[in-house]
Structures are given as structure tokens and as C-alpha cells.
Amino acid sequence: MNSELFFIYDSHCPWSYAATPLVRALVNAHPEMQLHLLNVAYYDGSDGVKKALAQSVANQSTATFSEGYLQGCEQPQDATSVVNLMAWLTGKQPEIALDVLEEIQKLHFQQGLKMVEPEDFDALAKHFNLSMPGKVFKDKLSKDAEHQLADVAELQEIIQTTAFPALLVAQDERIVLLNHNLYLTHPDKIVEGVEMELC
């Protein structure tokens, strides 16, 4: 399959967390597929996540949430540091970007780390041997992140929705917006679904 996969997400969004295993299933099945991870930067410190929403995500997917996360999830969430990190990383080491995103989600949703301050990223930096630049931890979006948001806006215009998470597969001149909700409880089934869509 000569195609590209676009994942529009927010690292602090429970639905994005639930959709990430679908991305992993597609990448594992088609390692030749070029992956584009695009953080929409929705969580900017102004909104929290209702506990009821996280519980709904858990009921409709394979995602699980720790008590530590659930106790603090209704406080404002801020993904700015992660947006900056992932924008930098996709430019420098795209081959590990999905692994890093999965680890960030594990730290946030399973260990309850806010993923805002530099110390929240210590284990991640050590695990992946990352030397993160200072711009990651500024309280505003980096230039890399702003460029990535422009790419997100362009894609959203094509698919005519700003809803996220969104999974798109592009092959030749064709872009397909996948109905990822069908696969949240069985992530591996998305592989067959994509192959049918692109036949």
C-alpha cells in the first residue's frame, strides 16, 4: 500500500488517546505508510476534561484511565509543551514520534502527569535519549508548532470538519476520512477497513 496516514489529535484529549491504538495497528500492518502526526493544540490551559467523558471513552474503547488522572482531569489541561515537543520531534526524528506520543499518553492518562513542566518529561527524555530544546517548555506555541497548525487547518478545510481526532488515509489523489469510531473496541480491525476503503 503506497499511501500516507494523517492523525489529527490532541495529546490531552481522551478520544485521541483511544484512537492512537488504531494508528499503531495501521503502522504495524503497513510500515511503508508515511505517518503524519498533527497535534491540533486544542487544550491550551482553558478547559478540563469531564470525568463522565473519560468514563464514556473507557466504555467505548480499549482506553483506560488511572485514578490519578481522573482526580485531576477536570482542572484545565494544557498540551502546549507536548505540541511543541511533537512538532520539533516530527521534524528531527519522525521515526520515533508515534512511540513518543504513546509514551506521553501513558504518562498523562495512566500516571496522571500533567505533561507541562520539564520534570514531567524527565522519564520520557531518558527513555528515548532526547535532548529537548528550551522552546518546548515556553508557555506559547513554537514556530514549528504554528507551521504544523497551518497544515492541520489545510487538512480540515479539505475534509470540511474541525472535529478531532481524525484519521485520514491519502493514496494518489484520493483522501479518505476514516470512521475511526467503528474500530475503537477492536483496533486491529481498522487495517481491513482501510484496505477495503482503498480498493
* pTM exceeding 0.85: yes
DSSP annotation of 107: I
Q: What residue type is 80 in one-letter code?
A: T
* pLDDT for residue 163 is more than 90: yes
CA atoms of 183 and 180, how far apart (whole Å): 6
pLDDT tens, position by position, 88-119: 999 999 999 999 999 999 999 999 999 999 99
Cell numbers found for residue 109:
492518562
Domain range enclosing 170: 4-197
- 24 by Cβ neighbours in 10 Å (0-12 / 13-18 / 19+) ranks as middle
Query: Any idea what the CATH number is for the domain that residue 125 is in?
Result: 3.40.30.10
pLDDT tens, position by position, 114-157: 999 999 999 999 999 999 999 999 889 999 999 999 999 999 99
What is the number of structural domains in the chain?
1
